[in-house]
Amino acid sequence: MAQLLEVERLSCKENIDTETFVEITKKVLKAGGVEETIAVDSEGKVIGNKVLCNVLIRLGVKKIPVSLMNPEKVFYSLEELGFYDEVLGTPFRVFENSEELLYKGWPTPLVRLRSLENGSIRVWGKLEGFNPWGMSVKDRVGWMMFKNAIEELKKPPKLVVEATSTNTGLAVAAMCAIYGSKLKVYIPNTVSKTGEILLKIFGADVVRSDKPLTTDLIDEVEAEAKRLGAVSLNQFYNDVNLETHLRFTAKELDLQVRKAGLNVKAVIGGLGTSGHMSAISIYFKSRLKDIKTYGVVPKKGSTIQGIRRVESGMKWLKYTELDGVVEVDAREAAEEVVFLTRREGIFLGLSSGAVLSAYKKLIEGREIREGDVILVLPDMGFKYVDLISELLGL
Ligand code: PLP
């Protein structure tokens, strides 16, 4: 007979590749639940479909549908599996420690931005700058990559190395602070002085390179990790990046959108590692019909901290089909940051400004005509005041 068993009572350790993980995730999301049970023996040991069991656990469900000996066809919805429980938030916002402040502080806000609205379109900004540590979309990824490293090593790493354009570095630095690890970060020469100082304040040892892109530093950092006996988390290749955004960022956005009764027609967001937009695109294209997803990159020759051009290589875009990639230059991004600040009092970072600019270009091109549009806004503007001042002569 089929029943739901608490996740803690099962173990389904199984090595599966990312492609399989994504395929099964899409199937579960499309169905809005699970259509088959996992066979267990009389002692509760998993004897069949360990792959599905493993994927469900990695997606953060609280209960697993099982049956004795043979799998059965019984449908359990995502809600019944406790899929959304981990992003329900903490109403009075009292937390036991800094780590809880992060993962029990979710969801990050989704706020309507009326000054961007046009005709029958409504616009909503997902403010990832409301994460507590580096105050960006990368706090989630730094947290999970570090936790994963602890799980593999069975203890916190002594030394971590990472190539970063600031935000991942700050997130990992926070985890290093909490767990007593040391951090050495490698930044490209395009990172602002403010970013470098922030990383130092967070306790990281900072090496500034003369190369322009964070991805230019990956090989060097891998070699350094070997030489120093350090753990390299490598946000560009570590699949935990994609998984984190599927499990938390996209999932909580799904919940917010449904609670608010939105009719989402498009999601727009920047591309750096491609972690958050690949995950959001995979997720929402599985959950909703007629939804378009767009990536935002810097125009050729322009630099916008956090995002980069697709041809520089992005690991996870192959698992989804974006409906377009919009190019924006740094000045356009800065202008949009100032526009929104002066209209709504919300001061966003430059890659968020690029997302606002991309949205306006898509509206002008009549690519988006109606419904609710979600803009994923990676951080706030306070890290970029010098750059914005330079770009706009303020
Ligand atoms: N914007 C900012 C400010 C970032 O720091 C990053 C990533 O570091 C991004 C956008 C891109 O996010 P992702 O790496 O998930 O593509």
251 lines ligand 1 (CB under 6 A): no
Q: Judge whether 102 and 143 are in contact, CB under 8 Å.
A: yes
281 lines ligand 1 (CB under 6 A): no
* Residues linked to residue 270 through DSSP beta bridges, in sequence order: 296
pTM above 0.95, yes or no: yes
- What are the tens digits of pLDDT across the range 99-141? 999 999 999 999 999 999 989 999 999 999 999 999 999 999 9
- Closest ligand 1 atom, CA of 167? 5
CA of 120 from ligand 1 middle (Å) equals 30
State which residues of the chain have pLDDT below 50. none
Quick one: tokens of 12? 């389904």
- Closest ligand 1 atom, CA of 245? 15
Rounded to whole angstroms, the Cα distance separating 390 from 393 reads: 5
CA of 6 from ligand 1 middle (Å) equals 35
| DSSP annotation string for 323-346 | SEEEEE-HHHHHHHHHHHHHHHS-
Q: Judge whether 33 and 78 are in contact, CB under 8 Å.
A: yes
Among 272, 324, 252, residue whose Cα is nearest residue 293: 324
At residue 16, the pLDDT reads 93
351 lines ligand 1 (CB under 6 A): yes
Q: Atom 6 of ligand 1 has which residue's CA nearest to it? A: 306
At residue 323, the pLDDT reads 98
H helices within the chain, ranges in order? Answer: 18-31, 50-58, 98-103, 138-153, 167-179, 193-201, 218-228, 240-244, 251-259, 275-287, 330-344, 350-364, 385-392
CA of 79 from ligand 1 middle (Å) equals 30
Q: Atom 2 of ligand 1 has which residue's CA nearest to it? A: 306
Q: Atom 5 of ligand 1 has which residue's CA nearest to it? A: 306
- Closest ligand 1 atom, CA of 350? 3
At residue 72, the pLDDT reads 87
At residue 69, the pLDDT reads 82
